[in-house]
Structure formats: C-alpha cells, structure tokens
Amino acid sequence: MSINRSWMYKRLADRGLLNEDFKEGVNEFLQTALNLYPSGVIACPCRKCKNKKSLTWDIVREHLFEKEFIENYYVWGAHGETSNSNGLVYLDGASSSRDNTSELPYDPYKAMFEDAVRNEFPPSTQDGMHTNDDPTPMAESIHEMLEMTSQPCFDGCPMTELSAMTEILNLKTEMDLSETATDRIIQLVNRFFPTHIPNRPIQNFKKIKRKLSLLGMKHQSIDCCPNGCMIYWKADNELMECKFCSSARYMINNQSNTSIPLSRMEYFPITPRLQRLYASETTAEKMRWHKDHHTEQGVMRHPSDAKAWSHFDNLYPYFAQDPRNVRLGLCTDGFQPFGQFGQKYSCWPIIVTPYNLPPGTCMKRQFLFLSVLVPGPKNPAKRIDVYLQPLIEELKELWEVGAITYDALSKEYFNMRAILLWTVSDFPAYAMLSGWSTKGKFACPYCTEFTEAFWLRHSRKHSWFDSHRKFLAGDHPFRLDTQNFTKGKAIMYGPPLQRDGSYCYGEMDALMLVTELGGIEHNKVAGKDIGWKKRSIFWDLPYWKDLLLRHNLDVMHIEKNFFENIFYTIMGVPGKSKDHTRGRMDMEHTCHRPSMARDRQGKYPKAPFILSIKQKEALCVWVDSLKFPDGYASRLGRCVEMEHLKLFGMKSHDCHIFMQRLLPVAFREMLPTGIWEAITEISLFFRDLTRKTVRVTDIEKLKLDIPVILCKLEKIFPPSFFDPTEHLPIHLPDEVLLGGPPDYRWMYPFENFLGSVLKTKIGNKARVEASIREGYLLSEMGTFASYYFPEEVTTKARRVPRFDDGFMINDDATISIFAQKAKLIGAGTRRYMDQDESNAVHSYVLRNCPEIDPFREMFSNATGIIASDEVQFQAQFPIWFYHHVQTNNVSHPRWIRALSRFPSPYVTTYQTLHINGYKFNTVARSEERVTCNCGVMVKCTSHDGLRLDYYGLIHEIIQLDYQDYKVIVLKCEWFEPSDRGTRVHPLYDIVDVNIQYRLQTSDCYILASQADQVVYVSYPTAKTRTNKWLSVIHCLPRAFVEKVLAGSSTHVDEQPLAFQQNEPGNSFETGFDITIHQHMDDRGDHFVTSNAPEYMNAALEGEYDIEHDGSDNGGNNN
C-alpha cells in the first residue's frame, strides 16, 4: 500500500495563499504525532528547526505553515514512523509534468527546461531532444543547459547552476535592478564561495543571459521608415529606402562604416507565448475553463457568457469544438516615457491577452503579452496598421493553419488555433484601430451618418445635444417636448439600425489599406464625406466581418470624461467648465431657456447648477476630510486646491470612485432636487453597468433608462456640455450585452501594465524601445522560471495578499462556529469579561450555531419556551444546554461539551483583524489613521422572517476561548434601524444612518465572519447643519472575484483593480436579532449618542460648516 505525501512540499497555492491540501496534511501529521506524544510537545520538522527542537504542537503548526517541512521528510521518523511500518510505502507524489508515473526523483529545473524547449521540436524529434549528436548551436545550448540542471555550484552546494542563475534572473526582473547592481550582487555572492573553488560558475549577468537564452521567447526587430510609411519586411526586406517617401533606411556611420537603422519596431510573436500557457498543467487546465464552467441563464460573469462569444461558436463550430483554441483581445495606448514635463515622446505598445482564463486570472499581469512596440517619438495615428502587419499575418496563420502545441494536462500534442475577438482602446485610439474617425460630426461609430450632432457656431465644435430622444420609447412625452430641447423640434422617429460586419465591410470598397502605395492620399479623397477614413488592416482577418463586437468603447475613459465635465461645470472651473459665454450664446440660438438668457445689461445669470463660493469651499473641505477603508481608494484630499477651489490631478480611478459613489453625496444638499436626481441617475447608471456580475434583464433596463437620463441632463446643461463623451453611454448597454462585464474590456488592467511594467523597464532613455524590449524579454524569462522555484523562494506570484485571512484559528473546525479563517494583527490585550457581558456574547454564539438546532428543539419541548419568546429563550437556553450536556450520561463530541460551557471570562482583544478579504479596525484605531476600517454591516433575519440590515461601528475585536476552541466576535455600536435611525431613498436605494440615534442594547455582538465593511460619509453643505445623517458606502473585499460554480465569493489580491459595484460578497443571513430598548435622554426626543469617531463628530458638529451667504441653491433632497 502506498500513501501520497506530495502535499508536504506544496505549501502555497496560487496568489501566495496556503494550499488547502497542505493545511489538511499538517493537521493529519500533528494528529499522528500527538497520538505518540500526548504531552503535546513534539520535534519540529520545519526547515529551520530540522527536528532538533521540541516545541508545543501549536507552535510546530505555525512553523510548518510559515517554513514548510525539511527536505525529503516523507517518512516521519522523528515522530514514531519507520520506512516499513505497517507495510506502507510513502511516496513524494512528485513527477514531471510529462510523466506522473516516473520513478525518478522530481527535478523542477529539468521540468522547466523541458517545458521551455518542448514546442521547439515537432513530435517526431522528441526522442532525440536530449542528445548532442547534432552539432548545431541549438543542440549545444540544450546540452549545456541539461548539464546545468544537475551540476551543483560547488561540491556540497544544495543549489545547481541552473537554479542559482534563474533565481538571480528573477530577482533582477522583479526588483527592476540594473545590470550593474546585479553584477555587484553576484560578486558579493561569489565571495561566500569556498576559497578552494577557483572557477565560479556565475561571473556576471551577461553570462546568465547567454546560458539561459533557451528560456527566452522569440522576438524580431524590424526596420521601419522614420516617417512610419512602411516596414522593411518580407518582400521589402532588401529595400534601402522607403518606397512611399524615399527616406533612407540607414544612417551611415563613416567612422565605423556601419549602417544604423533610422527607426526600428520590435515584434514579439504571440504563438510561443500562447504555447507556453499549455506547458504547465495549472494554466493548461485554466485555459479550458471557458468551456467547462457552469453558466447561469441570463447572468454574465465572463465574456464567454455573452452573445458575441456564443455567436462566433455557432458560426464556426469546428473552432469551438476544441476548448483549447484561444480567444484573444488586443489593446493599444500611448504613454510618455519621460514624464509629464519631459521630452515629448509617444511610445505605443500593442498588447494581446487570452480570454480563455477564468475570472481572477484573466487580465492579470502575467497574461498580458506585449506583441508590438511601435517606435516613437511620434504618434503613429492612422499608420498604426503599418506596424500591425506581422501580428495580423500571425493571427491569420493561427486561424488558417494553427500551431502544433504540447498540452501538459492531456500529455499530447494538438493543433492550437486562435482568433482575435475585439480590440480595447480609448476613443482616439479607436479611430486608429477601426478606421472610423472619432472627430467631427460622425464621431459616433454607432450612429454614423444618422447622427443628430450639429455645429455650435460660437463654441466652434460639434454638439450631441438633443441626440437621445430618438432612443426613447415611442410614447415618451419627451419626444413631443418643443420647449426644453431644440426649439420647436419634436422627434417622431427611432434610433438607427445597427450595421453588421458585412455591411461595414461593403462601405469600405472605395477605401485602401494604408500599407498600399498611394493609400493615404486616396483615402483622403474617398473618405472626405463619410466616417471611414481607411480600410483597417483587421479586415484582412477572414472572420473579422462575422464578429458582433469588433472594437470596444472604453468605459473607463468615458466615465472619467463624463465625471470631469459634470464636476468642473458645477464647480465653475475656468477653462474646464462647459458653461461659458460662448456656450450661452449657442444655447440662446438652440434652446428656449429664458432663465439662463442674457438680461438687459447684457449679462448672463448664474445657472442653477453652478455652486456658490461658500458651497465650493464646503465641498473642497469635505473632499479633504474623506476617509476610506484601506485599499479602497486613494486619498482624495491630495487633489484639493483650496486657493482656487477646485480639484486637480485626479487619476482615472479617483474619478471612478467619485462618479459612482460620491457624486450623489456631494451634491445632495447643494443642488435643487431635479438637478441632483439627474446627476444621481447617471452616477447609478455607471455603477450598475460596471458590476462584476451582470444580469441581462438589468442591462436591458439600463438600455431603457439611459436615454431618459441623458434627456434629463439635456434639460439642465447647455448644448456646449454635450461632447461625444456625453453621447457614447447610450451605446454602452448594447456592448455589455454583446461582450459581457466591462472589466474585461476596459483600460484599467492595460494602463496598469503600461505604468507598472513597461515604464519601469526603460533604463536607457536614449533607446526607449530597446530598453523595453530587453527588460520585457528578461521579465518573461524570470516569471516563467519562478513557477519552478522551491516553496521557500519568495516571488511576486507567491506574494501573500494584502489582507491575508491567514488560516483556520481552530484545528478541529468540525462546526461552522469554530471554522473561522482569520488573522489577528498585533499584540492582544487580556481583559476580564463580567457575567452580563459573558452571558450576552455566549447567547449570541449559541444562536448562530445551526449545529445545535436539535438541542433548541429539545429545550422547547422540555420547557415550553419557544424561540419567538426571545427574552426567555435567550436567558434560559444557555443554562439548560450546559446542564443537559454536562450532567447527561450521553457521550457528546468534544466540541459540544466545549460549546455548552460559557467562554472563559478572560478574553483577548485586538485592534486589527483580517477576515473575509477585509481589514477591520476598531474605532480607536481608525481615529489614528488616514483610512477608516471601523464601519460594519450585517444582514439579518428575525424569527418572523423579516429582513433588516444593521449598520454600526466596531469598538472591540474579541477572541473568546471555549476550552481551546477560539471564536472571534466583534463588539459593535449599532445605529438604530428604525426610520429615524436608518433611511433608504425610495428611488435610488441610497442608505443613510443618523448618528444621533444609537441602538441601546447589550446584544451588540456579531461573529467576525458575518461582517461586511461599510464606510460612512457625511453630506457637505454651506448651510447650518440641521440633521445628522451619514451616507453609507458599501465596500467589496479587495480584488473581489465571484466563484461561478458555487455562487459564492472569494478574493484575489495580486494587483490593484478598479472598484466595481456588486452585492457584498461575504454577507449572509444570521440569527442576529436585536431587541430594541429605547433609552431616552433628558430631552426625550432621541437616543443617547455614544462615542463616535472624532472625525464623524467633528464633521457633523460644524467643523466645516460655512455660513450661508444667501446665494446657494439650497436643494432640499431629504
């Protein structure tokens, strides 16, 4: 009989979390050891102690979780086991990704070498892959690397040459070290070598690069015309000057008599990068996820759930038949490598990413592949097709021919094919990729020539004012309104029909590719009166016309620009406001708005949506005082400029948070009700549109709502407000229906990749593209090698999440109440818990343990007290339960006997807790920080089935002790849940709590695992504050990802993601049922106010209340 103990050396799973198999195995090991050593003191087999120290079992457990087992400890000899005890054979379970039945010891670095080069050889040559009969450079490199897999750095050294080199390579790439710094580290390491070893295997980083060249992937440098007319490629490879503009290809260096290309692009073929995804069993399995996962009718969590994906599968069933075929997305965006105030230089990377991967993995940094690096310093504009030629050629080959690829999961070769699903870009780059001009009257690629845009004579630009009534329902009253929109104009027709790919392709018959001779000059004439300005090179893909969604509108930039136009217009920021004199002159010509028309003195009155100076001051002070949970958003106070009463330097994610969460709060008491409602509705539109999980019915409702919202805004703002950005939201619901949730089709992950990966590779600013090329190729090698490192080697891929929940706080987690996975931070404080407090917390713990429901029923039958009689039941059941379990002769499990006893009166309190992907602090701790993590919410049901949400503040994080079983509870102060303590807006579901009304009850505890995080934000106002309402903002765990199969949720913290609205993922109904005892103070009109965070009380008691000057709009929206 054999036992597989491979779990012993697989401590970490993806994203640096502890492997569940490892945790179960450690518990099995401890149980085995404790059976032999009941005292609980055993030898610690971690890599540091090496069975030389005897420690208590709980400390041994912590050591193993942190440091793993010592090497080759498959037989637990120091813990009473022998190699042949009971006739068992203990296997390490490790094997090459090629052969799980191999009897040879597993060598991860040899497996890495095989995975790296396997696709370089067709199946017919695999048997000779390890021979050196062929004296080619490739064979010599293979032979050299094979030797490095088994050659130690010196006799007795545990590291081989290959392992040492790959770890140094990974260190350099992940830490962005210069080559000089890396050489210094190598020199330092060499000084630790024994003096009798004259030849050091690693001399410098240049030698590492040469010896590890087989781990790298192909790239190609292609000479270009310095004007971007052509690339010297294929048939044009031998040309010495541009065939378009006659510019020279080379700059001749007379001194060295060498030819230096004037411009050069970098191309990184995508085929080997996709093949490497199948070299590992883990990623090979994930690449099939899109086909294997459970789908729910009418619910979209991934592009594979959307219409565009299934439509293509239906058209090309032979492609869809093999789930290993790859769906790709393409993105491009320019960036300035020298900073905002440096030399003007535009670098344009083109990135490709596979969509086969599941949520939580798809769009992650290691799966964004740099494909083309367009040389600067100029924007390629419409000539970007010139640089796309190699990529399009490869995509055509992947579609028509495919690539023979080894699949590590099935242990076989298959013919991998790939398609390009769509492109992602901001609006200017949309024109570069699609060929449709995003400037002028025809800027909207959906409305095309049927646009309602018109020219504003005074503002000197096109406006999309009154372009949305045609999208309304046929009987909507706005259609016949001739006063609030364009004067005297009624709309009796519907929206334009959407054109399919074949129709669009037919429209471009008269246009040419920019890669064809005379193409640009021809297109200037042929495209003069139409929106198409070129025939995009993407139409060369045979399937391009059959795609439902070829180019995506970027929700990130649309949302950002929409927010900035609204916010700067309301704040009246000079140069950025859309309400100016020229705009008013255009408005008089277009609209009938006497309240905003010029008066007899020739002056325009202040618009009702413009804030007064006092209101602007109050708003800026409010923004400066905002505090959010750690990791939720940046500190917006850094953007406040009090001198000019404006915000500056807001990043896309700052605008994202403000637009979706803060905009309704910021203006609720500042603007008239009608204006505030329209602004709130556009805010909620973007919030609902960008949910991680979207329902088709919800998106169809948004499709009906957005024209109404835009029409309401048209009744408020002047025509100069409505740029293409304010029009494009009308088409976003359609794109969601076709492509799925926007987080797979917006620019956030791509811009993060540009800024945090590619920009950091620029070491030589005189050679931007070459620096990025070298740095990126090395980072690919380092990332690939890191997958094979031992568990004790720390890498970015194994980084523990920012808010790591740790591990189960109890070993014997047989029931839910003891199965809490949490991490307590800092040194705890011991304190005594009095009898009343102990009774209250124990009663709550029992009520939330469903495993003792049979005992509740027995109690009711024995005493006649039913659960609806809350006071009697809660008072008597814990005592009855104790006597029943402890005095009954029936043998009960250990956990029941522990739970029947009251917890120890000595408890440990903490200031910080990580659980459910959240970081929670107490109120006292939050007051010391610029972040606020003390807000909590729990969803509850009472015994009569009523559902009620409770909102509160954490005052204590308490660890209870039930005879070695630990339970973590939160002691909270709750806002009163009645109408005067908690209110919900009837239209917009905005939740407010009143800080004056607190729930006066001893039943103030919840289990930590039941908690969801919220943050409370006050309403800014320039008037004397008359209420104490705070708005509630719900927070999701950092990098929340919903599990598709189970319908539950998890979190993956690998890189910052944009906040997206969704239902709180970790809340659930509990037995939390609070009896409300109303203790009035002397005034008798409200609950006693308990200690609140200082920043809340300060905000509510006039810290930034500003005297009303009589000129504010005084909106009353309460």
- 316 exposure class (CB count in 10 Å sphere: 0-12, 13-18, 19+): middle
Q: Which residues are CB-neighbours of 656 under 8 A, at least 6 positions away?
A: 556, 559, 560, 1058, 1059
Measured in degrees and rounded to the nearest 5, phi and psi for residue 109 equal -75, -30
Contact 420, 330 (CB under 8 A): yes
Q: Which amino acid is at 697?
A: T
Task: Return the pLDDT at 928.
Answer: 87
Residue-number span of the structural domain to which 202 is assigned: 108-215
Task: Return the pLDDT at 800.
Answer: 72
Question: Does residue 1006 lie within any of the structural domains?
Answer: no
Alpha-carbon span 1042 to 741, nearest angstrom: 13
Alpha-carbon span 28 to 153, nearest angstrom: 37
Number of domains making up the chain: 2
Quick one: 77 and 132 in the same domain? no
Question: Does residue 164 lie within any of the structural domains?
Answer: yes
Alpha-carbon span 768 to 776, nearest angstrom: 12
Alpha-carbon span 496 to 470, nearest angstrom: 9
Alpha-carbon span 598 to 244, nearest angstrom: 56
Alpha-carbon span 940 to 947, nearest angstrom: 6
* Mean pLDDT split into 10-residue runs, the chain, 1118 residues: 72 71 86 77 85 81 84 80 48 38 62 80 50 56 77 81 90 91 90 73 88 88 95 93 93 78 95 93 91 91 96 96 96 88 87 95 93 94 95 97 92 94 96 94 93 94 96 94 92 91 90 93 90 95 96 97 96 93 93 87 90 94 94 91 91 94 95 96 96 95 97 96 96 97 95 92 89 93 88 79 67 74 90 92 90 89 80 85 83 86 93 92 92 92 74 95 90 92 92 91 88 94 80 82 45 44 40 36 34 42 35 44
Task: Return the pLDDT at 34.
Answer: 80
> What is the C-alpha radius of gyration for the chain, rounded to an integer number of angstroms?
33
Last-in-domain residue among 186, 215, 244: 215
CA torsion angle 264 270 271 277 (round to 10): 140
Residue 1017 is encoded by which pair of tokens? 């934000």
Quick one: 82 and 166 in the same domain? no
Last-in-domain residue among 215, 243, 258: 215
Structural element, H or E, at residue 563: helix 555-571
Alpha-carbon span 441 to 464, nearest angstrom: 9
Q: Which amino acid is at 673?
A: T
Quick one: 118 and 205 in the same domain? yes
Quick one: 30 and 88 in the same domain? yes
Quick one: 115 and 90 in the same domain? no
Residue 49 is encoded by which pair of tokens? 């102690």
Question: Does residue 840 lie within any of the structural domains?
Answer: no
Task: Return the pLDDT at 671.
Answer: 95
Alpha-carbon span 1115 to 610, nearest angstrom: 12
Alpha-carbon span 982 to 485, nearest angstrom: 39
For the chain, what percentages of helix, strand and coil (3-state, to nearest 5) are there? Answer: 40, 15, 45
Query: Residue 962's beta-bridge partner residues?
Result: 965
E strands of 659-781, at which residues? 694-695
Question: Closest by alpha carbon to 1086, among 989, 939, 941, 975?
Answer: 975
Last-in-domain residue among 36, 64, 94: 94
Quick one: 58 and 123 in the same domain? no
- 37 exposure class (CB count in 10 Å sphere: 0-12, 13-18, 19+): middle
Quick one: 87 and 131 in the same domain? no
Question: Does residue 704 lie within any of the structural domains?
Answer: no
Q: Which residues are CB-neighbours of 257 under 8 A, at least 6 positions away?
A: none
Quick one: 37 and 82 in the same domain? yes
Alpha-carbon span 636 to 605, nearest angstrom: 32
Quick one: 124 and 153 in the same domain? yes
Question: Does residue 208 lie within any of the structural domains?
Answer: yes
Q: Which amino acid is at 536?
A: S
Task: Return the pLDDT at 1041.
Answer: 54
The CA-CA-CA angle for residues 669, 670, 674, to 5°, reads 85
Question: Does residue 628 lie within any of the structural domains?
Answer: no
Alpha-carbon span 1023 to 1112, nearest angstrom: 9
Contact 106, 92 (CB under 8 A): yes
Alpha-carbon span 231 to 222, nearest angstrom: 7
Cα dist from 636 to 121, 625, 658, 918, whole Å: 55, 9, 9, 21
Q: Would you call the peptide bond into 377 cis, given omega within 30 degrees of 0 as the criterion?
A: yes
Quick one: 154 and 195 in the same domain? yes
Question: Does residue 785 lie within any of the structural domains?
Answer: no
| Three-state SS sequence of 3-72 | EECHHHHCCECHHHCECHHHHHHHHHHHHHHHHHCCCCEEECCECCCCCCCEEEHHHHHHHHHHHCECCC
Task: Return the pLDDT at 943.
Answer: 60
Question: Closest by alpha carbon to 524, among 532, 516, 515, 533?
Answer: 533
Question: Closest by alpha carbon to 965, among 882, 1020, 903?
Answer: 903
Question: Does residue 698 lie within any of the structural domains?
Answer: no
Quick one: 84 and 114 in the same domain? no
Residue 971 is encoded by which pair of tokens? 């002691």
Residue 439 C-beta-side C-alpha neighbours within 13 Å: 6
Quick one: 130 and 84 in the same domain? no
- 964 exposure class (CB count in 10 Å sphere: 0-12, 13-18, 19+): exposed
